[in-house]
Amino acid sequence: MTSVTFEAPRDLARGKGKRRTTRGPRYRPTPPPRPWVGKVAVAAAAAGLVTVVAQGIAIETGTELSAPGGVAIFIGSLTGLVGMYLALLMVVLVSRIPPVERILGQDGLLRWHRRLAPWPLSLIGLHAIIITVGYGQAAKTGFLAQIGQFMSSYPDMLAATVGLALMALAGIVSIRAIRSRLRRETWWVIHLYLYLALALSFAHVIALGPSFVGHPLARALWVLVWVATAGSVLAFRFGLPLARSLRYQLRVAEVRPEAPGVVSVICTGRNLERLPFAGGQFVEWRFAKRGLWWQAHPYSVSALPRPPYLRLTVKAVGDHSAAVAGLAPGTRVFFEGPYGVFTRHAQRSSAVALVAGGIGLTALRSLLEELPARSQPAVVVRVNRPEEFVFRSEVTELVRQRKGTVHEVVGELGEVPFNARVLRKLVPDVASRDVYVCGPPGFVDHVTAMAETLGVDRRSVHHEAFAL
């Protein structure tokens, strides 16, 4: 089978003036996910939680409980400890540990991070209130007087209070209704304060926590958990991306228009044959250009890597995606990833249906390239206008080589229906296929619901929504 590739940039092609079509596949496939890693991770997290609760209860004595404020101090300490432990778990979830990311993907990790978020935030808030009540009762001062006492005479309490305020701020701006009104970058910067908040509260837990005062082993274990959490963030969110960026030395080679408002960026790099990649994955791209260097945005790799080239394809929808069209050749590119579980590793049956909404075709295009010969994929592309079907010829050729079919559903939303009846007509055996759907979040939800209506097993519907 001849492979369909993207064209190398003219000025980089061997043989001046001629476009060279690069041939592959010469890249390193991402290893499959190892489910046992997930089980071990869940067991470790649960064991940690049980240990924290058990230690908090075990150190309590009857005398302390029956003293004035004893019950409140006990409950306040326990809620604080459990809240802090869950906050660390939240951080670990988004630290992008590769074997864990390969099981859940970034969207799965973020989903768990968001689900968990209300617990630590409310437990830590409760801790602050209840512990103040307890200390107030013990010292026979009022609630407000006790706050003053904490600020003036207890080591590290001021820092912990600032930490609490930052956590509350991050929690408030993450409420969906508020978050949707903020610029994503503003929300992201405020969200980063959570790391500072945790660092500020570290010392008061060690210095005052009943579980740690006079319990050196418990204290050492707690410090270890913090160091491991901070270490995983430093290693996987900063160290690995930096090491990969330095190793692969990506630079923009060419920016090529594909459709109205859509460009492909062809990057060139070193050693790309060693970069682990699976069709369907995406990368967080950071272009070293004024105004762009400080933000990383996710864009799918729109074809399997063709060392020394890598291609991403971007539709202009806002500041960053519009600025991509103006990237100059030679611009240095830093990146994180590749990430994502929207790959062939997720496939459960032998046949697939790939459903793309507009620019969602990018991820499906590289996934399609990895499908074996004669796999007979059914590809459905939903676009408002014919010219929005990017890579029409590449996709058609890839599908033809695999003896599959391509269907276009073209027309404005509301004018041209795209519902379960239409999908069944286009792909009559959809229930026996794995369905991969990619595009804007609303489209992904719509197709997922349609597939389930048509009898596709929920576990066989794989989705990548273009928003995290």
Ligand X SMILES: Cc1cc2nc3c(=O)[nH]c(=O)nc-3n(C[C@H](O)[C@H](O)[C@H](O)COP(=O)(O)OP(=O)(O)OC[C@H]3O[C@@H](n4cnc5c(N)ncnc54)[C@H](O)[C@@H]3O)c2cc1C
- Where do contacts with ligand X occur on this chain (CB under 6 A)? 184, 282, 297-300, 313-315, 317-321, 359, 362, 464, 466-468
Confirm if 458 and 452 have CB atoms less than 8 A apart.
yes
Shorter beta-carbon distance to ligand X: residue 184 or 424:
184
Confirm if 405 and 379 have CB atoms less than 8 A apart.
yes
CB of 6 vs ligand X, minimal distance in Å? 14
Shorter beta-carbon distance to ligand X: residue 413 or 467:
467
Task: Using alpha carbons, list the distances in angstroms from residue 244 to 42, 109, 163, 284, 298.
Answer: 28, 22, 33, 12, 16
CA 163 from centroid of its chain's CA atoms:
25
CB of 190 vs ligand X, minimal distance in Å? 15
CB of 464 vs ligand X, minimal distance in Å? 5
d(CA 78, CA 49): 11
Shorter beta-carbon distance to ligand X: residue 205 or 354:
354
Task: Using alpha carbons, list the distances in angstroms from residue 456 to 126, 344, 367.
Answer: 44, 17, 20
CB of 299 vs ligand X, minimal distance in Å? 4
CB of 302 vs ligand X, minimal distance in Å? 6
Rg (CA), the chain: 26
Instruction: Please spell the DSSP secondary structure of 113-128, one letter per residue.
Output: HHHHTHHHHHHHHHHH
Shorter beta-carbon distance to ligand X: residue 74 or 282:
282
CB of 188 vs ligand X, minimal distance in Å? 7
Any idea which residue has 């369907």 for tokens? 280
Closest residue to ligand X: CB criterion: 318
Shorter beta-carbon distance to ligand X: residue 204 or 462:
462
* AA letter at 275: L
Confirm if 442 and 465 have CB atoms less than 8 A apart.
no
Shorter beta-carbon distance to ligand X: residue 119 or 195:
195
